Structure 1
């Protein structure tokens, strides 16, 4: 396990590495792919590159080491590029930092926007603005909508990364079949949510004659944005007049903590919420123990599909909600930080890397990232696709469960409820501001939030203490 001190050491090493690379790369900005503008093509780097890539990825690739090898071969079959894919089985961020700090060279990295911002500050990744603008593929709004680029542009409008997939958002997910069974309306306000969750707890929605259900379960404070929406509060940082603040630590959050404490005291909130992981939370939902959870839009479809696979006649129906409306009727849910491809400044094959990024957004690239490997995960004949046993197990997700390209339609359609949930994301979800110090702030927020919800401290005192600790640690301005 890498300790906090080691991570800090790695970060310092990365900063040093960035400085060294910036001084020895002969102005090595990545050249545009074949057929695009040659703007920013580095001198001495116009010779033909070997079609080889070394890629490091957290989720893109095979599900096992053996399948990862097949994934590499499939890339070569489809593109002619010999790819070496480094996909750690766990602790991706730590291993990524360690690899870069030790001087390992990669042509492509799959990272989060948060990590991209860190790497930009340290001079580790190549600006791609000109290449993206010159790319007929990436500048096509049918492939990547123009408005989406604002998610990943820097303040000065530069582009350093290109989306690996459509990143969804988080929201309350309700047992819609329970709403129908109990003749309840879909909740809109916080009062509505209370009434629905109380009914889920007390009116035997699973029909087993026992009082063994809860209204709401969470995995700690994970994705309660849809509840704090009632007070118009974002989960992470906000910036105003150049100052950073965390809305969950403000007085405006006190009524929400008091509301959650009320659920806990009345047995409406799963008593194990503070120690749940997301797997336990989902399992409660799937086994008729809880009527609402807070999770990702994609899981609306996966939850529905899981129950359908178990019982074709099930009445189970998960549905995404836009969160509780605030006093002005507005809803607020969270958009996930985009995952992006970036090209390190010391990449040995930057032209090939950019060609690959363009290809990744083509039909072949999308099918590989979603369905997986032909003849391993699926078969295809005459445009008709069929999943293999392995393909069904892999749930059409090899790093790209959803994509932007409107010219490529899912061969099996979307899972039930996903389309509607994604529409909520597009309509109501916004990105969070996640600076490097968020992890430290989150610990303080969670510790005090739990005390408020569990009734170990009044909500007002918990917020006061939370704020004092954040200020003392210089985590808010």
Structure 2
């Protein structure tokens, strides 16, 4: 999307939200929302469920409402959000990144309900963790119900069979990572006699800087701040540090040597697993649950030895042995409620009561796991999957995994939530889930937290469309060889000159006031 297009959409959003604020305060002139239907727009990471399918029907029956779902592929979600905000047809509930400038601008202008003092009245919507609620806020104001996630999920997924073939151990340091990637590229790990593999698989990342991308993870391993960090007594963005440059020199070396998939700037993130499964690449830096997805692919292909195909390690050490782990925010997106389509307090109460019911243990199990007795049974306080290879049952489970899980906001028991953790029947899954929890606990000891998470500066909101893409775009250009390191530094300076200097000043000021 062009910059001029973005500016037009933002202008439209401002006009719209001003009108919404006026209508919301005009003495109840706005019509009531349909109390029997809940309209939701959310991200999609797989195939859109059939609106008449078994899982959607089960969710509707449980809630006592019809669901009108708008599923948007993850890579297209930000653009779709901008278009929707500028339209006159905003769904009642939108799953959204609460720090996205377009959303912040709209929320602060009145397009979304301020829920700061409202959620405590609903037992299943009351924040389970006040710090996470603050992290997901906009300078202390809560504009959405945060979707709980593990405090630390970053990991490295590898082709276990390839490691055995090239005679290497699982990596512990970034130097080990380089050696594994080099061997996966040059030592014919698939045994077909051709040089047609590479090590690291990176997709086109839909998020901006500090969005838990593989780039952000690697930069943290090198000691760069996670988003923002203290340098010289003040907070600075992580990309304005020597460690950021060192990490990207390292990654550029891998790109230049052909150790990274050549289409890293364009590979659809929805197809991230495909090179791994089809034997073209052997390393993924992402969240730990991707190991389970990899197991699924091999198992569903009929590979009885699927457990021998996938290995997982946690965050890697720097060359000097120091370890800096990338934590998560504790949340992933929020469920925000539109004041255009939910215009009155009565309408809001109706929507919040519906979400409160969804926030029960039964509701969260349904959207995270599927249908009890059909998809899973409860054994030792975990969800053991039933007939995993049955195509109908598997379709329901896939929809729970890839689609309706977007409506899960209370997490599972493994991360302090309420839903049953999923335990597939195969021993490799059970071993990996145990390893996952062990790695999370260990890496939390070296987690690099972002002190600026709860705040967003006014300049970042007003100029986000112009400056947010400067760093991620420059990083890709640098890694691709389109610009030099000096030009990358020049782009960092351009970020400051285009409003970043004011952003940094405001972030420091806002963080200093958090405890006041």
Pick the TM interval, shorter chain. 0.7 to 0.9
The match for 2:12 is 13
Q: CA deviation at 1:94?
A: 4.0
Look up the SS of the partner of 2:42 in the other structure: coil
Alpha-carbon shift at residue 351 of structure 1 (Å): 0.9
Which residue of structure 1 aligns with residue 420 of structure 2? 409
State whether structure 2 residue 492 is matched by structure 1 residue 467.
Answer: yes
Aligned ranges for residues 212-223 of structure 1 at < 5 Å? 212-219=196-203, 222-223=213-214
Match of 1:195 in 2: 179
Deviation, structure 1 residue 413: 4.2
Gaps of 5+ in 2: 206-212, 503-516
Report the 3-state secondary structure (helix = DSSP H, G, I; strand = E; otherwise coil) of the residue aligned with 2:117: helix
Residue 152 of structure 2 corresponds to residue 155 of structure 1: no
Instruction: Specify the alignment match of 2:283 in structure 1.
Output: 292
Asked if 1 retains the 8 angstrom alpha-carbon contact of 2:43 and 2:73, the reply is no
Aligned-pair CA distance for 1:61: 12
Unaligned 5+ segments in structure 1 are 29-42
More deviation, 233-242/330-339: 233-242
C-alpha separation in 1, matches of 2:412 and 2:98 = 20
Q: Quick one: which of 84, 87, 93 aligns to 1:102?
A: 87
8 Å contact kept, 2:295–2:310:
yes
Question: TM-score, normalized by length of structure 1?
Answer: 0.77
- Larger helix share, 1 or 2: 2
Contact 1:297 1:421 in 2 (8 A): yes
Q: Does 1:322 align with 2:329?
A: no
Structure 1 range deviating more: 66-75 or 217-226: 66-75
SS at match of 2:404: coil
Match of 2:218 in 1: 227
Q: Deviations over 1:247-285 (max 9, x none)?
A: 335443332233223323433333443443335653222
Deviation at 1:366, TM superposition (A): 2.0
Aligned residues of 2:23 and 2:29 also touching (Cα < 8 A): no
**DSSP-derived class of the 1:294 partner:** strand
Shift of 1:223: 2.0
Aligned-pair CA distance for 1:353: 0.8
Q: Is the 8 A contact 2:316 2:323 kept in 1?
A: no
Aligned to 2:368: 370
Is the deviation greater in 120-129 or in 334-343? 334-343
Query: What is the aligned partner in structure 1 of residue 115 from structure 2?
Result: 128
Tell me, yes or no, if the aligned pair for 2:219 and 2:243 is still in contact at 8 Å. Answer: no
Distance, in Å, in 1 between the alignment partners of 2:250 and 2:294 is 28
Shift of 1:96: 4.1
> How many Å separate the matches in 2 of 1:4 and 1:164?
30
Alpha-carbon distance, 1:359 to partner = 1.7
Between the aligned partners of 1:344 and 1:241, the Cα distance in structure 2 is 42
Between the aligned partners of 1:326 and 1:68, the Cα distance in structure 2 is 54
Distance 1:293 1:471 in 2: 32
Q: Deviations over 1:358-389 (max 9, x none)?
A: 122223322442345789x8598999855652
* Residues in 2 aligned to 1:381 and 1:226: alpha-carbon distance in whole angstroms: 35
Equivalent pairs counted in the alignment come to 454
Q: Is the 1:360–1:366 Cα contact (8 Å) retained in structure 2?
A: yes
2:226, 2:449 within 8 Å by CA — same for their partners in 1? no
Partner of 2:305 in structure 1?
Answer: 313
Secondary structure, counterpart of 1:186 in structure 2: coil
Contact 1:175 1:292 in 2 (8 A): yes
Q: Helix, strand or coil: the match of 1:59?
A: strand
Could you tell me how far apart the structure 2 residues matched to 1:92 and 1:193 are? 32
The 1:83/1:280 distance shift into structure 2, 3 A limit, reads closer
1:333 counterpart residue number: 326
**What is the aligned counterpart of 1:166 among 149, 170, 176?**
149
- Aligned-pair CA distance for 1:312: 1.5
RMSD after superposition:
4.3
Q: 1:452 to 1:411 in 2, by over 3 A?
A: closer
Judged with a 3 Å threshold, the aligned counterparts in structure 2 of structure 1 residues 196 and 71 are, in CA distance, closer, same or farther, namely closer
Greater alpha carbon shift after TM alignment, 170-179 vs 311-320: 170-179
Q: Which residue of 1 aligns with 2:349?
A: 351
Residue pair 2:20, 2:339 contacting (<8 A) in 1 also:
yes
- Residue 513 (structure 2) aligns with: none
Partners of 2:218 and 2:376 in 1: CA distance: 43
Classify the secondary structure of the residue corresponding to 1:191: helix
| CA distance in structure 2 between the aligned counterparts of 1:92 and 1:202, rounded to whole angstroms | 37
Q: 1:237 to 1:78 in 2, by over 3 A?
A: same
- Deviation at residue 322 of structure 1 after TM alignment: 1.2
C-alpha separation in 2, matches of 1:353 and 1:59: 20
Identify if the C-alpha distance between structure 1 residues 296 and 132 changes in structure 2 by more than 3 Å, giving closer, same or farther.
Answer: same
Q: Which segment is superposed worse, 146-155 or 429-438?
A: 429-438
Question: For the Cα contact (< 8 Å) 1:58–1:110, is it kept in 2?
Answer: yes
1:68 is displaced (CA, Å) by 5.7
Q: Give deviations 1:440-476, integer Å, cap 9, x for gaps.
A: 54644345434543556553x2332222432343345
Q: Is the 8 A contact 2:199 2:260 kept in 1?
A: yes
Matched, 1:453 2:479: yes
In the superposition, relative to structure 1, how do residues 264 and 14 fare at CA in structure 2: closer, same or farther (>3 Å)? closer
